[in-house]
Structure 1
Amino acid sequence: MKKNQKKVGKVFGLKEAIERYVRPQMKLHLAGGIGGPGAAICEIIRQYSGSAPGIELIQSTVTGHAINLIHANLVKKVIFSACIQISQTAHPSKVIQRAYANKKIELENWSLLSLQQRLMAGALGVGFMPTRSLIGSTLTSDNPQAFREMDDPFNRGETIGVLKALNPDLSIVHGCASDEFGNTILPVPYGDDIWGSLASTKGVVITAEKIVSSDVIRKYGSLVKIPGSVVKAVCLAPMGIHPFSFTSPIDDVESYETDNEFLEDLHQASSDNRKLDDWLNDWIFECPTQDHYLEKLGSQKISTLKTWAKRSPSLNKGLSETSTSDPVYGYTKDDMVVVAAAREIVHSVVKSNHKTMLVGAGTWSRSARLAYHRLIGKGYDIELITGNGQIGYIPQAGESSTQSVSGIKSANMLTDTITTHGVFVGGKNSQCLSILGAGQIDRYGNINSSRTYDGDFLVGTGGANDAANANEVILILNQSRKRFIETLPYITASGDKVTKVISTMGVYRKDPGKAELFLMGCLPDPEGTSLEEKIKEIESRCAWPLKSDQAIGYLPEPTKDELQLLRSIDY
């Protein structure tokens, strides 16, 4: 800065900022919580609807409003980790599947960690970044332009992956608070929100819940993750990542919870192009600004979402169990799967002395929560972590697949994806057990969540490939011949670290490496089917010749204390 030159404020209206800085054909990075900067995405759709700007979208998790960019034909290529439709649970996106099947978009899939490592390399100004992810998966052959395997120059006999640096043109990030010069405090955890902004060659557009004084920024200087020197524009956008949750790390800005009702409406509309056109007309084109969007959302809904976010987190660990082990009846098949998986998780933690458990999203995450409370109740020191940066969080009753504000507030540490997956899961001193769902598996525990035999897109790797670098991996999934298949059409993640698979029919185990799964126990059958008939039924729902343990039998039914504990964490 020249002598006596004053700093110039960078506050713009959102419409003006998008007009000024977003350009056709650019590599556009979006970040700021799950789903990214929703208010900015809606403005891009308003301005570019009816044209074909050919944007190259870079975003870790493409969901919510970001999927509508693809429906509106504004994106030619997506560089991503997961493309999913999120409501109460996560689903493959019909919008993405239609666009990919009709060859309207190109998909370039990376794991959560490897995408951030590429952006980190871009920010650091180095040409490449080493990684432990991707090796052993189809992702390596899918991305020869930006991935190589090489001999580790410092560890003879070992192989390392190398990722090409990635530099977006522009990054749009939703922040918690920013001053007029662009110094920005981000919501927590930081997830995938930092490195893309620092790697962007043409700078950053910030949308912020609140524009504050520089005195406030200095007060929270340790929380500023994006410096004003890289920022081109600051735009006020309250509730700017709605419908997803927003957790503020400072008292000056209010948090808000996920709007599940809104997400479910969007999910239903996305099943059909015409329905989604109508939805976009209602929520984007007839709401020309963020203020109009919030007016349509309604003050009562906004107040409710903010009130929910003010709930104090439950800090109860190791919810009590009764002393009885008598089996009880009236449980569901899903309950049995959850209980069986929790038992296997507890066994692995105790046997291998794991210190952390990485929990994937989805219905079966209930198993990890149940195991967590049982372990803590028995005096074991175990912490739950998530791929987006929650370390040592306490599961909250009734949590869905999306993160809750109260859950985030219960964490001992809030960090980013590189620290979580790169250090706590796959790092040198890792003592982590990963618990994951899966779309398909083969006999070696390899996972597919990417593509079908017909080439249809599923959801992408997300963090599964990175999670497979943990000390041990346990998988939970529904069983059918379409899921337990002979040869996977795509290997999303290697099964080398998989030791157990819990299906809706039985429990399987395997040794680490390229060993085969074998059936060691059948889930109880309330219809009284004989063990021999049950094994034949399980074999009929597995596409490879299934091996069984010699001492195979029915597993014990859920006990009263297991079910009571499960109910207490569900509600």
Structure 2
Amino acid sequence: MRATPGSLAVFHASGPDDLVSTFVGADDHVHLAATLSRPNALGNALARQFRGRRSLTVSTTAVHSSAHALTIAGAVRKVVTGFLGDTYPTPRPNPLYRALADGEPFEVEMWSLLTYTQRLMAAATGQPWATTGSRIAESDLSAARTEHVARVTHPDGTEVTLLSPLRPDWTLVHGACADRRGNVVLAAPVGEGAWAAYAARHGVLASVERVVDEHDAVLPPDHVMVPGHLVRGICEAPYGAHPQSLRSAGIGGVEGYLDDYHHLTEIVEACRTEEGRQAWFDRWVQVEGHEQYLEQLRVDGAPARIAPSAPPAAAATVGPGVVEPGPPSSASTQEQLTVLAARAVVALVEERGYDTLLAGIGTSHVAAWLARRMLQERGRRVAVAAELGFLDMDPVDGDVFLFSQRHASRSAMLGGVAEVLGGAVAANPRCLGVLSAAEIDRTGTINTSQLPDGRWITGSGGANDIASTTDCLVVAPASRRRYVDRVAHRTSPGDRVRDVVSQFGWFRRDDAGQDFTLTTWLAPPDAPPDLDPRGALRGLTTWPGDGARATAEKPVTSSELRILRSLDPEGHYR
């Protein structure tokens, strides 16, 4: 029987399925908290219990990896999110959401990452509205067409965008540990943080790696992010974030673990076909609770794959120079794109004085990492940030996943979405956003949401927030389907996009009303020998110009390739 909310007593469940069945009703709005350690064991329990009912409303910053279980189960009526697709080994669409624009497999309400978090913050602090500097109201994101977004004019004439609070019935969270009173430890980086815990109408349902007896250990108050009075039910669920990672900070005797890249890749491959995803669901989700899931992991060898969160010196899987790059002529077209983008970032940092690079996931983040290394070699320091809470990160060679816990251990500061997209980006005039695009048009407007034929791509993530508030450089391979006259879907505004880098050169402009001009040129490795700037512009873009002002880029160097291939030895972005 479903428990009645309101009691201060914390219910100690035997496991995730017991916790979910005790509290969650068929028509509830359930929020899956988006720290780096997502509540995947609880999400699987939701998928099992509500399979085929298509009744739940689910909010979460991003639907990827194990969250696909809820989609495959047919448990969800509506999703409120900022991203649907996959993030590893590279960001990409998932066939499950191909017909999302037609309402299949569920109704969706799309936000950007910061506006989504700001709505949770408004609910958590009892505010009737949140204000935002993100220009979601000017986008084609579905949230902009709802009653949750309003534009008002301040008495001083300023246009202000208001967002309604996001208040779920239940917030599901996975923590490193908790005490028996329900105080939950979350270790940074924390993504959306604890805002959804305070925003929930009925309270928090928490799984943790370990429930600590106060006689054995007292949880440090500076690491308790979800206070016990918000928690209605709790259970132990070892590896409850799997296949995502968990950083424990050594509290409560809990040992953290890294992302299971093998498992994440398996999910991506399984979702390619109906037969594959059903087989994956039956094997990993439609089991007899979390204990059987763990047993299946042991059979599959996962404990050997999930390395404990190691100290920085032991985290790297490869080191600089391990991969021999060969001569400069061996650079691929994708490698040339990344190197040219990194060179442009280096030049802009030196020219305009940027002190922070916001690395958007994709080729863009690898280019930002490469630029950071190149600037280091010149004796110049620039901080690289990532939207879920990484500030001044020093990426580990060999792990190309933007949100890896390995990079967390080598960051100067760990926070959350508000600190990064708010403080490090929106409030920092010296930040340069480095973004990717599925489409970009002559105005700089970016599409990462929907193709012209209606097929779903992924969504905004933090891109709209970044492009709304700071100067941006876009890294995108040129083709006539990508460099278009007008994007099919306006995900992110273009007036702060001043620079675009393709595989053959750097486009620049001084003002938002201008067209981009090709200013540098290097023939792509796969180009016909007679290709010139004019031919590249005509054949690979729909943009105007003849490339007459383009100056020659030097060929990609062995040094640049050595750094790039050390960062990405498996070639996910090459």
TM over 0.5: yes
- Whether contact under 8 Å (2:337, 2:477) holds in the other structure is no
Q: How far apart are the structure 2 equivalents of 1:320 and 1:401?
A: 17
Task: Give the 5 Å matches for 1:479-518.
Answer: 479-518=478-517
Query: 1:488 Cα deviation (Å)?
Result: 1.4
Q: How far apart are the structure 2 equivalents of 1:347 and 1:250?
A: 41
Query: What amino acid does structure 2 have at the position aligned with 1:17?
Result: L
Query: 1:403 Cα deviation (Å)?
Result: 2.0
SS in 1 for 2:86: strand
Q: Which residue does the alignment assign to 1:467?
A: 466
Q: How far apart are the structure 1 equivalents of 2:142 and 2:53?
A: 34
Q: Which residue does the alignment assign to 1:15?
A: 17
Query: What amino acid does structure 2 have at the position aligned with 1:518?
Result: T
SS in 1 for 2:498: strand
Task: Give the 5 Å matches for 1:132-171.
Answer: 132-133=133-134, 134-139=136-141, 142-153=144-155, 156-171=156-171
Query: 1:82 Cα deviation (Å)?
Result: 0.6
- Whether contact under 8 Å (2:205, 2:232) holds in the other structure is yes
- Whether contact under 8 Å (1:173, 1:207) holds in the other structure is yes
Query: 1:263 Cα deviation (Å)?
Result: 1.4
Task: Give the 5 Å matches for 1:108-147.
Answer: 108-133=109-134, 134-139=136-141, 142-147=144-149
SS in 1 for 2:554: coil
Indicate yes or no: 2:23 matched with 1:24.
Answer: no
- Whether contact under 8 Å (2:187, 2:248) holds in the other structure is yes
Q: Which residue does the alignment assign to 1:269?
A: 270
Query: What amino acid does structure 2 have at the position aligned with 1:543?
Result: T
Q: Which residue does the alignment assign to 1:40?
A: 42
Question: 1:424-474: CA deviations, max 9, x gaps?
Answer: 1001x4421111111100011110011122332211110101111443211
Query: What amino acid does structure 1 have at the position aligned with 2:288?
Result: P
Indicate yes or no: 2:309 matched with 1:309.
Answer: yes
- Whether contact under 8 Å (1:500, 1:510) holds in the other structure is yes
Q: Which residue does the alignment assign to 2:243?
A: 243
SS in 2 for 1:441: strand
Q: Which residue does the alignment assign to 2:451?
A: 452
- Whether contact under 8 Å (1:34, 1:61) holds in the other structure is no
Indicate yes or no: 2:442 matched with 1:443.
Answer: yes
Q: How far apart are the structure 1 equivalents of 2:346 and 2:63?
A: 33
Task: Give the 5 Å matches for 1:296-375.
Answer: 296-298=296-298, 301-307=301-307, 309-313=309-313, 328-375=328-375
Query: 1:539 Cα deviation (Å)?
Result: 1.6
Q: How far apart are the structure 2 equivalents of 1:512 and 1:301?
A: 55
- Whether contact under 8 Å (1:140, 1:147) holds in the other structure is no
SS in 1 for 2:232: strand
Q: Which residue does the alignment assign to 1:281?
A: 282
Question: 1:346-395: CA deviations, max 9, x gaps?
Answer: 01111111111111112342211111011122222311111001111101
Q: Which residue does the alignment assign to 2:294?
A: 294
Query: What amino acid does structure 2 have at the position aligned with 1:464?
Result: A
Q: How far apart are the structure 1 equivalents of 2:336 and 2:207?
A: 45
Q: How far apart are the structure 2 equivalents of 1:256 and 1:113?
A: 27
Query: 1:529 Cα deviation (Å)?
Result: 4.8
**Bigger Cα displacement from structure 2, 65-74 vs 139-148:** 139-148
- Whether contact under 8 Å (1:313, 1:406) holds in the other structure is no
Question: 1:386-431: CA deviations, max 9, x gaps?
Answer: 100111110111222352222111111111101211111001x442
SS in 1 for 2:256: coil
Task: Give the 5 Å matches for 1:63-212.
Answer: 63-98=64-99, 101=102, 103-133=104-134, 134-139=136-141, 142-153=144-155, 156-212=156-212
Q: How far apart are the structure 1 equivalents of 2:215 and 2:391?
A: 30
Q: How far apart are the structure 1 equivalents of 2:128 and 2:282?
A: 43
Query: What amino acid does structure 2 have at the position aligned with 1:18?
Result: V
- Whether contact under 8 Å (2:113, 2:461) holds in the other structure is yes
Query: What amino acid does structure 1 have at the position aligned with 2:460?
Result: T
Query: 1:217 Cα deviation (Å)?
Result: 7.1
Q: How far apart are the structure 1 equivalents of 2:171 and 2:198?
A: 9
Against the structure 1 CA distance between its residues 353 and 534, is the aligned structure 2 distance closer, same or farther, given a 3 Å change threshold? closer
Question: 1:324-358: CA deviations, max 9, x gaps?
Answer: xx983222212211111111000111111111111
**Bigger Cα displacement from structure 2, 326-335 vs 196-205:** 326-335
Structure 1, unpaired ranges of 5+: 1-5
Q: How far apart are the structure 1 equivalents of 2:89 and 2:526?
A: 31
- Whether contact under 8 Å (1:9, 1:181) holds in the other structure is yes
- Whether contact under 8 Å (1:356, 1:432) holds in the other structure is yes
Query: What amino acid does structure 2 have at the position aligned with 1:72?
Result: A
Query: What amino acid does structure 2 have at the position aligned with 1:362?
Result: G
Q: How far apart are the structure 1 equivalents of 2:566 and 2:531?
A: 36
RMSD of the TM alignment (CA)? 2.5
Against the structure 1 CA distance between its residues 320 and 281, is the aligned structure 2 distance closer, same or farther, given a 3 Å change threshold? closer
Query: What amino acid does structure 1 have at the position aligned with 2:389?
Result: G
State how many pairs are aligned.
Answer: 554
Q: How far apart are the structure 2 equivalents of 1:87 and 1:563?
A: 23
Query: 1:311 Cα deviation (Å)?
Result: 4.8
Q: How far apart are the structure 1 equivalents of 2:558 and 2:275?
A: 49
Query: What amino acid does structure 1 have at the position aligned with 2:506?
Result: V
Give the TM-score taking structure 2 as reference length: 0.91
SS in 1 for 2:396: coil
Query: 1:528 Cα deviation (Å)?
Result: 7.8
Query: 1:531 Cα deviation (Å)?
Result: 6.6
Q: How far apart are the structure 1 equivalents of 2:52 and 2:75?
A: 9
- Identity among equivalent positions (%) equals 27
Against the structure 1 CA distance between its residues 380 and 406, is the aligned structure 2 distance closer, same or farther, given a 3 Å change threshold? same
**Bigger Cα displacement from structure 2, 80-89 vs 304-313:** 304-313
SS in 2 for 1:418: helix
SS in 1 for 2:192: coil
- Whether contact under 8 Å (1:524, 1:556) holds in the other structure is no
Structure 2, unpaired ranges of 5+: 1-6, 570-574
Q: How far apart are the structure 1 equivalents of 2:213 and 2:400?
A: 36
- Whether contact under 8 Å (1:30, 1:57) holds in the other structure is yes
Q: Which residue does the alignment assign to 1:390?
A: 390
Q: Which residue does the alignment assign to 2:535?
A: 536
Query: What amino acid does structure 1 have at the position aligned with 2:432?
Result: L
Query: What amino acid does structure 2 have at the position aligned with 1:547?
Result: G
Against the structure 1 CA distance between its residues 405 and 190, is the aligned structure 2 distance closer, same or farther, given a 3 Å change threshold? same
- Whether contact under 8 Å (2:110, 2:142) holds in the other structure is no
- Whether contact under 8 Å (1:425, 1:469) holds in the other structure is no
Query: What amino acid does structure 1 have at the position aligned with 2:392?
Result: G
Query: 1:569 Cα deviation (Å)?
Result: 2.8
Choose the corresponding residue for 1:51, options 46, 50, 53: 53
Query: 1:137 Cα deviation (Å)?
Result: 2.1
- Whether contact under 8 Å (1:383, 1:393) holds in the other structure is yes
Question: 1:129-176: CA deviations, max 9, x gaps?
Answer: 1100025322387333111122234xx343221111111011101111
Indicate yes or no: 2:559 matched with 1:558.
Answer: no
